Amino acid sequence: MSAQIISGTEIATQLRTDLAREVAALADEGLVPGLATVLVGEDPASRAYVGMKNRAAAEVGIHSRQIDLPRDIDEEELLGRVEGLAADPAIHGILVQLPLPDPIDEARILAAIPPGKDVDGFHPVNVGRLSQGAHDVLAPCTPRGIVEMLVRSGHDPAGREVVIVGRSNIVGRPMASLLLRRGAGGDATVTVAHSRTPDLGAVTRRADIVIVAVGRPGTLTADMVKPGAVVIDVGVNRVDDPSTEKGYRLTGDVDFEAVRAVAGAITPVPGGVGPMTIATLLSNTVQAARSLREAGRNGTSR
């Protein structure tokens, strides 16, 4: 048996096409969703990510603004810039690219983003509401993109046994909250494993769907997968490869070739979860623009 390959690239393209249509309809109503990205310092990987996000936003018609700030920016000044964006009515989504350089207090900067503009879904209010099961909440992009990918590829998690490997605030924990919600995209039976889980294989072998977000190649091997299971590989790891021009290649956390022979469906790296994360950021920005307009009409704000 060879698994179905779930192409995040293809599903993200569908999602972006749908979004472009939605953004055009909103523009006709006089609402142009706006996304601001804040990049502090010159880290090449962060610069590349922010560039991709802005290009993707522009392609679907979202107004995007990139704010580049020097590495040695004073924390108060950075806070002032974020507060300025928080008050700007043309901006509906604010993304501060992490990690921020030392000694800036990341939590303090993120807390200055109003929950309604928190398109990364990291604000404690959004994290709390998501874990309470709210649906009208901005949820972190990677796990939300994974839910979308599962549903759109015919693997609705409802009623399925899902094992998540990794308990980070960016992937594992919000992934569990999303899958536990009642209703669309949720209703799964969820287990979260981590580095202190004694026999990881015994846990993952129970799963109809395994989601691996660890950051170590070869974490999930073929013997750890139930035949026919769906395998979602979140990991992005650089491994040396002198045969490539750059001297390295990207690989996930899953032993792809061997697991592919056992699984029912599997995501590749690259071309799996990554494109979904960016498409979901755009989707969150559109959701934020709609909600802020609604809150403005009702005279409420969140």
Q: Which residues of the shown chain bind ligand NDP in the complex (CB under 6 A)?
A: 142, 165-168, 170-172, 193-197, 200, 213-216, 219, 234-237, 273-274, 277
Pair of tokens at residue 231: 């395998």
- The answer to whether residues 226 and 205 touch, using CB atoms and an 8 Å cutoff, is yes
Q: Roughly how many angstroms between the first and final C-alpha of the chain, as a whole number?
A: 50
Min dist CB 39 to ligand NDP, Å, is 17
DSSP SS3 for 144: helix
User: Across the chain, how many H-helices and E-strands are there?
Assistant: 10, 11
Nearer to ligand NDP, 66 or 168 (CB): 168
Nearest distance from residue 270's CB to ligand NDP, in Å?
Answer: 8
| Residues 53/37, Cβ–Cβ less than 8 Å | yes
Residue tagged active-site, from 120, 208, 233, 255: 120
Query: What single-letter amino acid sits at 248?
Result: Y
Nearer to ligand NDP, 149 or 288 (CB): 149
CB of 194 to ligand NDP, least distance (A): 4
Of 247, 241, 257, 250, nearest to 273 by C-alpha is: 250
CA distance 146 to 177: 13
Least distance from ligand NDP to the Cβ atom of residue 173, Å: 9
Toward ligand NDP, which CB reaches closer, 26 or 269?
269
- Residues contacting 89, CB < 8 A, separation 6+: none
Cβ-proximal residues to 86 (8 Å cutoff; 6+ apart), any chain: 94, 112, 113, 114, 117
Sign of CA dihedral 115, 119, 123, 124: positive
The minimum distance between CB 255 and ligand NDP, in angstroms, equals 13
Known catalytic residue at 97: yes
Residue 115 vs 268, nearer CB to ligand NDP: 268
Question: Beta 248-251 vs 237-240: how paired, if at all?
Answer: antiparallel
Of 4, 28, 43, 53, which residue is the catalytic one?
Answer: 53
The residue (of 196 and 246) whose beta carbon lies closer to ligand NDP is: 196
Residues serving a catalytic function are: 53, 97, 120
